[in-house]
Amino acid sequence: MSATAAHRIVRPWRTATLVASAVAVVELVVLVVVGGILLAKPISRAVRHHAETTALAPAKKPAPAAAKKAAAAAPAPKLSREQTSVIVLNGNGHSGAAANTAARVHALGYVVAGTGNAKRQDYANTVVMYRPGYRGEGLRLARDLHIPVVGPLDGMKAPALMGGQLALIVGA
């Protein structure tokens, strides 16, 4: 009997261990794949159901007391329309948008400090921005023009307003 044959007879457990380990790894991979497939369907159904119910739910209306409180929290304008100066900037890239909007603003009685182009030309919505202390005037201009987006100066310095209190950036 040769040394290799004797070695195989004496230690057959090594081969059996390697074969059993390989079979166990294959079984584990199969179990993980089957488990993932079985669990994916119910989880995806639950996520889809939650998304649909959230998206299709009716909008919640604010309580009347909350609406009155929000209206009371808005400061009253300190300046009349004739005293309020507005700079109108084109933020949508359409030629003449700032001039057309400035004419509307002037027709409402506001002073138009100037027109020009905004730094960006990709504004999706028209925005009213106000200097500190002129929130009431900004809210009034937004209400007059039916603009829902009002906020403090963002990315603009007060000197860029050419002495005005408000900036109106015309969006798409």
From first to last of its 172 residues, the chain has per-residue pLDDT tens of: 566 665 555 567 788 888 899 999 999 999 999 988 888 888 888 888 888 887 777 776 666 665 555 555 778 888 888 888 898 988 888 888 888 998 998 998 898 888 888 888 888 888 888 888 888 888 998 888 888 888 888 777 767 777 788 888 888 7
Residue 145, SS3 per DSSP: helix
The answer to whether 153 touches 71, Cβ cutoff 8 Å, is no
Spell out the SS3 assignment of 129-166: EECCCCHHHHHHHHHHHCCCEEEECCCCCHHHHCCCCE
pLDDT of residue 93: 83
Within 8 A by CB and 6+ apart from 99, the residues are: 88, 115
Give me the pLDDT at residue 33, please.
Answer: 93
Q: Residue 101 is which amino acid?
A: T
CATH T-level assignment (fold) for domain 70-170: Alpha-Beta Plaits (3.30.70)
Predicted local distance difference test score (pLDDT) of residue 152: 85
Domain ranges of the chain: 3-56, 70-170
